[in-house]
Structure 1
Amino acid sequence: MAILLALVPSLCWGSIGLFSTKFGGNSSQQTLGLTFGGLIFGILTYFMWVLPHNYVMNSKIILIGLISGILWTVGQGFQFVAIKSMGVSRAVPLSMTSQIVGNALLGASILGEWQDAQTWITGIIGIILIVIGAVWIQTEDKDKKGEDDKKKKSLSGYVPLTFSTLGFMGYFIAPKLLQRWLHVSDAIINADHGVQYMISIIFPQSIGMVIGGFLFVYLITHETKNMFNLSTWKNSITGFIWAIGNVAMFISIANPNLGQAVSSTLSSLGFIVGAFGGIFILHETKTSHQMKLITAGTLIAVLGAVVMSNLSFFAQII
């Protein structure tokens, strides 16, 4: 059951690019709409979960949530920019592959979740398998016409993709890392097996998302005209979808049997959803050769996910 819950974010987050593309709008409208949906979900979480259970909501938790939310907006906003240049089936796998490597290694090293050499070897093998799968999934056909134009267009997406990856990495690790830096009490962190602390962050995090959304529009995209149109409100639906995955991910991180490294890796498998959704829902064309690579890449990535979700078992074999 824990593994299934940890896979929920990959389904939710992998479909964000699909929904946002269908709903339309520019990068600013998509980002703002998503943050508005996340804010509504955060408010509901606070009044229907945090307050009834008397969860602690102090200044440290609020600050951690705000920082995490702003970092998330950096990640998602720049991912939307990259999608405009590269397409969903290419940008999402590249983005999530980068997140897999970065988040897993941050959780393993900085948070100290992988304690022995066998676990490190097993974890790296799992990461490599997932990365190989993701690379195959997003590989372009060299024989395709207009390759030079497409290559130039794709290259323009790598810069925002880099900022996106850094933003998402910060969002993932902020709750665990900042709890140490700000000296959040063990009583709060360990309450309800760690779930209380992670759930309490969601509401202030959603506020940070909205703040980050407006900063993204005014400082990065400068798309200040028509910020609030039909596309913006449609994209708020993606905010609900994202928020469901966010709750599942935070609960998984709190699970000591999974932790940051494994949970973040499994949550980033949404590139499979993004790849096949881009093909079958958004009708992004692929050649027969590409479809073979996508199928093979999916199988390899799933194998890597199996390794990552059973680290202790495979570590004993090595």
Structure 2
Amino acid sequence: MNYLNLLILFLPAIGWGLMPLAIASVKNSNVYNQIVGTVVAAFLFAVIVMLIAHPALNWPLFLFSVLAGACWVVGQVGQYISYSRISVSATMPISTGLQLIGVPLVGVIAFHEWQTTQSKLWGFFGIIVLIIGVIFTSRSDEGTSEGGSKNQWGTLILLILTTFGYIASSSIPKALQGSSISIFFGETVGMMISVFIYTLVTGNLKAWAQKTTVLSGSAGILYGIANLAYIYSIGPWGVNTAFVVSQLCVVISTLGGLIFLHEKKSKRGLIYTLIGLVLIVIGAFLTTVIQ
């Protein structure tokens, strides 16, 4: 067994799992600081990798990658807003579960995956398990910061709508033929453009020069390392294994929010969250590995 490849396989889960904790640990930051800091750091990381690797880059590949990056920002902004509304430990299981439902469905409809009857049965059963898992993790926890039906349902609707951005961002690269590093670079360019427009339209251009934005850049570095590790792991491990293991980030971020960020839940809320996590992990394996 190549232990280095095994270590790299788990880097995406670690990096993406630590991203929410890195963002939440920056005091007095808002969603504009968080998204600008993340995107700028990821872009600089991508530029450095491009200068080292010198991969081929063509206009169609670049433009579609830019579109994927812009879609990613929609999903990430929704996630960052939700952290402050219902906490990291409540946001991540819901967001991850919705992505695990959406991305396989796009694969079936647009890319004709799950071609056998058996794979369709296991896949759709896995999606049902994921839906149940999301329902458990989205249960209102009265008496805590995430409780209250208005706050809970409003944020759930926000997550559902913005998760379409994540789903598009994950699906577009499947249709592209070219260097993974080039795709990653194009995505970060799209991220930079869309975040600039977002801060311009909302009147928050000042976020580009604030200290909390710089501190939020740690999340961008984590994102860049995780994304490149994921791209590399597809080679020795295959898409299915790399994708499933990367989704373990939800366990790290959710438990990390409870342990390190001291996010409070009632006993009932904690039980719901843990049951939902287990179901999401099981559903992820059913929709990807058992095919």
Which residues in structure 2 correspond to 1:24-63 (within 5 Å)?
Answer: 24=27, 25-49=29-53, 51=54, 55-63=55-63
- 1:242-281 deviation digits (Å, cap 9, x = unpaired): 112222333456779435xx75555344322222111111
What residue is the counterpart of 1:16 in the other structure?
19
Residue 108 of structure 2 corresponds to residue 108 of structure 1: yes
Residue 267 of structure 2 corresponds to residue 292 of structure 1: no
Residue 203 of structure 2 corresponds to residue 205 of structure 1: no
CA 1:176/1:226 → structure 2, altered by over 3 Å: closer, same or farther?
closer
What residue is the counterpart of 1:282 in the other structure?
261
Separation in 2 of the partners of 1:123 and 1:64? 28
Unpaired segments ≥5 residues, structure 1: 180-188, 190-195, 313-318
What residue is the counterpart of 1:150 in the other structure?
148
What residue is the counterpart of 1:162 in the other structure?
160
Q: CA deviation at 1:149?
A: 6.8
- In 2, are the aligned partners of 1:266 and 1:305 still within 8 Å (CA)? no
Separation in 2 of the partners of 1:87 and 1:139? 13
Q: Tell me which of 218, 229, 241 is aligned to 1:237.
A: 218
| Number of matched pairs | 287
CA 1:37/1:300 → structure 2, altered by over 3 Å: closer, same or farther?
same
Question: What percent identity do the matched residue pairs reach?
Answer: 25
Residue 228 of structure 2 corresponds to residue 228 of structure 1: no
CA RMSD of aligned residues (A): 2.8
Give the match's secondary structure for 1:23.
coil
Q: CA deviation at 1:30?
A: 0.3
The TM-score normalised by the length of structure 2 is: 0.86
Separation in 2 of the partners of 1:46 and 1:235? 23
Give the match's secondary structure for 2:179.
helix
- 1:17-44 deviation digits (Å, cap 9, x = unpaired): 2211111311011000000110111012
Q: CA deviation at 1:139?
A: 2.9
Separation in 1 of the partners of 2:284 and 2:157? 28
Give the match's secondary structure for 1:156.
helix
- 1:147-205 deviation digits (Å, cap 9, x = unpaired): 9973222233234323320111111011123x3xxxxxxxxx3xxxxxx6222211222
- 1:102-152 deviation digits (Å, cap 9, x = unpaired): 1111123211222111111112223333443343344333xx337997322
Separation in 1 of the partners of 2:147 and 2:281? 33
Q: CA deviation at 1:309?
A: 4.8
What residue is the counterpart of 2:228 in the other structure?
247
Separation in 2 of the partners of 1:232 and 1:137? 30
The TM-score normalised by the length of structure 1 is: 0.79
* Partner AA of 1:60 in structure 2: P
- In 2, are the aligned partners of 1:85 and 1:156 still within 8 Å (CA)? no
- In 1, are the aligned partners of 2:98 and 2:134 still within 8 Å (CA)? no
